[in-house]
Amino acid sequence: MISLTTPLTEAAVRSLKMGDEVQISGVIYTGRDAVHKYLHEGGELPPGVDLKGGIIYHCGPVMMKQADGSYQCTAAGPTTSIREEPYQAEIIGHFGVRGVIGKGGMGERTLAGCEKHGCVYLHAIGGAAQVLAECVTKVRAVHFLEKFGSPEAIWELEVSNFPAVVTMDSHGGSLHRDVFAASEAALGARL
């Protein structure tokens, strides 16, 4: 298990290889379809949000507002990442993102962006939303809540030992591509 703490350096990310198991601590930012489209079309990050060396988590967390106005994260499972394929590579390059967490993998454009800019795709376990929420030690802030709504907002989360697997590395390796190719070959052999 490799421990990573945000913000991530390019050297730390380039040292990771497909298949490495990691535990992430530090600050991560959620971002789904609305945020990716907004940023891709030239939108500005809200004040105080800096993605340089950071991690974007494809997640629409479930939050409970507390009496004091703070939030508690009760579910933080990954959402399907391929929807962000039209945007992800450009966002990685423009904002200096070093990691993307989600489920299901991404395509060749994102893989090329990871290789060019020094970023990795980290697969989180789907169906474990409550377990992953236990890794969220604090909800630091929420941005664009009124603009995009709760699932699409940028939630700024402090995490401790958040587990993930590197399934796309910065060297052109993609477990998702490899599994698809092997499955296609096995299917072809049966026909």
Strands (E), the chain: 2-5, 21-30, 55-57, 62-65, 71-75, 99-102, 120-123, 136-143, 154-168
Any idea what DSSP says for residue 98? -
pLDDT band, residue 182 (cuts 50/70/90): confident
pLDDT exceeds 80 at position 132 = yes
Q: How far apart are CA 191 and CA 171, in angstroms?
A: 34
CA 94 to chain centre: 16
Query: In the predicted model, what is the mean pLDDT of residues 66-74?
Result: 95
Res 176: pLDDT: 85
pLDDT band, residue 179 (cuts 50/70/90): confident
Reply yes or no on whether 171 is catalytic. no
pLDDT tens digits for range 31-55: 999 999 999 999 999 999 999 999 9
For the chain, which domains are there? 2-190 (3.20.130.10)
Q: List, in sequence order, every residue forming a beta bridge with 24; answer none if it has no partner.
A: 4, 162
% of residues, the chain, pLDDT over 70: 100
Predicted structure pTM score: 0.93
pLDDT exceeds 90 at position 189 = no
Query: In the predicted model, what is the mean pLDDT of residues 99-108?
Result: 96
CA 83 to chain centre: 13
pLDDT tens digits for range 1-19: 999 999 999 999 999 999 9
Measuring CA to CA, how many Å separate 134 from each of 69, 102, 171? Answer: 20, 17, 32
Mean of the per-residue pLDDT values of the chain: 95
pLDDT band, residue 191 (cuts 50/70/90): confident
Res 180: pLDDT: 79
